[in-house]
Structure 1
């Protein structure tokens, strides 16, 4: 009888150990929700009142189309040299955003669509260019396949802009509203005149607890 009870106890403990082991293994495999790809031109699962991917896509597409329709930029017999970077893109708003996302996307998409009607100067790469120029002129490397020039390319126009915002909060409901205004302006680098201007504005409201980084 004792042996029989001992055998039953041992079997019961072994079965319990297997169940616990299975549960532990199952819990170890749980890694949380899998990543989900979202369309960058639409509102995602996480959204607030700040500038988000769909806003970046919409505003840069609008500015690109507007620039391409401007004869002072695309109707010249000699394509103008243009600088588009974030050097003079100021963020004075309460939105946290890397302004490179605006200028990089605008420059790249515009360069593709302009098809030679504009020439883009990579002033943000000037250090890289100067190092290579110095190596060529010192004889450390050959001259490459492109003719040498007296200096790096100068630009005719450069993009500047500003991001501004106006916030309002309903303390009773915790709802936040933000009006955002983003301006883009192309400046003549000899005269200082503005040859093209673009404006993008939006207002969003939400019970905002989204953190932008």
Structure 2
């Protein structure tokens, strides 16, 4: 009789232990994805370059370039290269530079209405291969007239992202000042025809990881 009671007791303990272990598992659905305004600080914030900074700086540079008569008031629209090849990140912030240069070029191309012409120099190999196929007769000439050479550029974008960091060891607050410069260089003379700069500073108790 004692053996039967003991076995029943052990079975009850095992059953209760199993119920206890499974009750700690959260089987509820995860929080749904929340869309945020990219122009405003999101719920996850740090001291690095974030979406609202990228949009603000490129919008300001676009407006400044479109108000420069040396660029938009010429009889013949200037040819410009805007990519990240000569746009360097010397800051302590991790950022994909193409996010800045691509957004600036695309918005300028849309807003300039032909007053500026943009040369896709990073795709030069692709263009040369297609030109070679046309001239060899492998494909027809397309609908655009043949040219002696691909488009040369008048100006090219250069620039830097720089930062200055500070940290309060008592409060563990981090502060980072960013200075982002944009300039257009004359590709014949080597002179600067336009310069722009954007500055901002952020402070946070804890920084976040940027990927």
Structure 1-normalised TM-score?
A: 0.86
How far the C-alpha of 1:130 sits from its partner, in A, is: 1.1
1:16-73 Cα distance to aligned partner (Å, 9 max, x none): 9xxx8xx98x954x34221111111110010100000000000000000000000010
Unpaired runs of 5+ in structure 1? 1-15
How far the C-alpha of 1:84 sits from its partner, in A, is: 0.3
Following TM superposition, where does structure 1 have runs of at least 4 consecutive aligned residues deviating by more than 2 angstroms? none
**Measured at CA, do residues 170 and 27 of structure 1 come closer, stay the same or move farther in structure 2, by a change above 3 Å?**
closer
Unpaired runs of 5+ in structure 2? 1-14
In structure 1, the partner of 2:91 is: 93
Task: Establish whether residue 132 from structure 1 lines up as the match of residue 104 from structure 2.
Answer: no
Report the Cα distance in structure 2 between the residues aligned to 1:74 and 1:102, rounded to whole angstroms. Answer: 21
In structure 2, the partner of 1:113 is: 111
Paired residue total = 192
In structure 1, the partner of 2:31 is: 33
1:54-113 Cα distance to aligned partner (Å, 9 max, x none): 000000000000000000100001000000000000000000000000000000000000
**What SS is found at the alignment partner of 1:182?**
strand
Written as runs of structure 1 = structure 2, the 5 A alignment for 1:43-192 is 43-192=41-190
**What SS is found at the alignment partner of 1:192?**
coil
1:145-186 Cα distance to aligned partner (Å, 9 max, x none): 101111110000000000110000001111000000000000
**What SS is found at the alignment partner of 1:73?**
helix
